[in-house]
């Protein structure tokens, strides 16, 4: 549980860098961010130096709500693509975490707790 909780500390990373650094598989809405691999790598390296050598890869998606990156084979990091204030984003993520805890042991799928 500790590592899953720690992953929640990853900050949202948005990039206004050159288009070469942008995530090519993301179809974003006009009011959304693009999250680059470089931004995710930088955030992981800064906040979790013990994972500096763990490979990161983007998950191809046509979604417009989150960009998802795998961190090794054990973790996934999700980055919101739409602008929201910090308070409502925190409440949204906390409600999802509460719902996930309610599902632990009730489905055949692994559920973070």
For position 31, what pLDDT does the model report? 55
Per-residue model confidence as pLDDT tens digits over 40-67 = 999 999 999 999 999 999 998 777 788 8
- Taking the complete model, does pTM exceed 0.95, yes or no? no
7-39 pLDDT, tens digit per residue, is 444 444 433 333 334 434 444 445 567 889 999
Strands (E), the chain: 56-58, 66-71, 75-80
Domain ranges of the chain: 2-82, 85-113
What are 50's two structure tokens? 């013990």
Strand partners, 56: 71
């Amino acid at each position: 549980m500790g590592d899953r909780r720690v992953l929640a500390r990853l900050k949202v990373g948005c990039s206004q860098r050159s288009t070469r650094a942008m995530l090519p598989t993301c179809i974003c809405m006009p009011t959304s961010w693009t999250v680059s691999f470089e931004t995710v790598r930088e955030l992981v390296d800064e906040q979790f130096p013990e994972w500096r050598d763990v490979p990161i890869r983007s998950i191809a998606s046509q979604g417009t709500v989150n960009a998802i990156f795998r961190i090794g084979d054990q973790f996934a990091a999700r980055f919101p693509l739409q602008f929201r204030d910090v308070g409502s984003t925190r409440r949204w993520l906390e409600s999802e975490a509460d719902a996930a805890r309610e599902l632990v042991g009730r489905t055949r799928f692994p559920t973070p707790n």
